[in-house]
Structure 1
């Protein structure tokens, strides 16, 4: 079952955030610290309470969250060089490493897609790290295509 994540899900979400950080730290130890989390518990509570940053959770029969999708609704800007579109940015998707292979990620993505469409969004965007080919393959399988490329020069 997919539902909006709740404050009671905080311990499981924090565990999943550590799993995501480990994947990133394995690929880019110069940028990520294994064992860290992207958000503190206080920051997570604020995100969960904000309707512009919906977090969707996939829960098992016991209502234990086994995967999440952090989203941010991006409103149109006053930029005169681009069209004014509403967009949904997927900040993070994670499925518990012990629950993978059950199409939970696909269900989460489809729920986000439906939510974005119903919210009047033009598109869904996200970033994927080059050192995470599994994630890139997943997003491509969901029908996503490259919009732009971010480049770096390490000094």
Structure 2
């Protein structure tokens, strides 16, 4: 069953979000979180839950929170043909439930909500080190439009520049 998470769901939702964050730790420094940062991370997630232009869709099977997908409506420039962006963010399905169409169901719920809110296109980012994720999104019709690049100016937790 799919439903929209509420602020009261923060503990269950945070557990799913951490699965995603933990999976991404080896992909790039941009995904790494600080040890002991649970409260800050929960506060970030709670802020997203309270954002009126954001919805967090959750798939639940029995008592198990199986997967989540974060969707946001982000205004663009009226000067562009595609000017109302639906953004798909943090998406994860527990490994033992993958391959059962749950990610697609979460996406379809998000797509409907974003379309109903006036989005004229959808965007997302997926790590170049996540071939399963890339394949999943391509199977739903997404195609690359840009290459997102990152240059850390300081080592995490350091004030010195990285080499």
Is contact 2:17-2:90 (8 Å) kept? Answer: no
Task: State the distance in 2 between where 1:105 and 1:77 align.
Answer: 30
Q: Deviation per CA, 1:22-66, whole angstroms, max 9, x where unpaired? A: 2211222x44337777x622222222122211111111134x422
Task: State the distance in 2 between where 1:13 and 1:45 align.
Answer: 9
State the SS of the aligned residue for 1:72: strand
Residue 10 of structure 1 pairs with residue 10 of structure 2: yes
Is contact 2:87-2:124 (8 Å) kept? Answer: yes
RMSD: 2.3
TM-score by length of 2: 0.79
State the SS of the aligned residue for 1:70: strand
TM-score by length of 1: 0.82
Aligned to 2:86: 88
State the SS of the aligned residue for 1:124: strand
Aligned to 1:48: 49
Is contact 1:27-1:131 (8 Å) kept? Answer: yes
Aligned to 1:33: 32
Question: What are the residue-to-residue correspondences of 1:3-152 with 2, within 5 Å?
Answer: 3-28=3-28, 30-33=29-32, 40-62=41-63, 64-77=64-77, 80=79, 82-83=80-81, 85-152=83-150
Instruction: Using the TM superposition, give the Cα deviation of residue 122 of structure 1 relative to its aligned residue in structure 2, in angstroms.
Output: 0.5
Structure 1: unaligned runs, 5 residues or longer = none
Structure 2: unaligned runs, 5 residues or longer = 153-162
Task: State the distance in 2 between where 1:110 and 1:59 align.
Answer: 15
Q: Residues 133 and 114 of structure 1: is their aligned pair in 2 closer, same or farther, counting only changes over 3 Å?
A: same
Task: State the distance in 1 between where 2:8 and 2:44 align.
Answer: 14
Is contact 1:9-1:65 (8 Å) kept? Answer: no
Instruction: Using the TM superposition, give the Cα deviation of residue 85 of structure 1 relative to its aligned residue in structure 2, in angstroms.
Output: 1.6
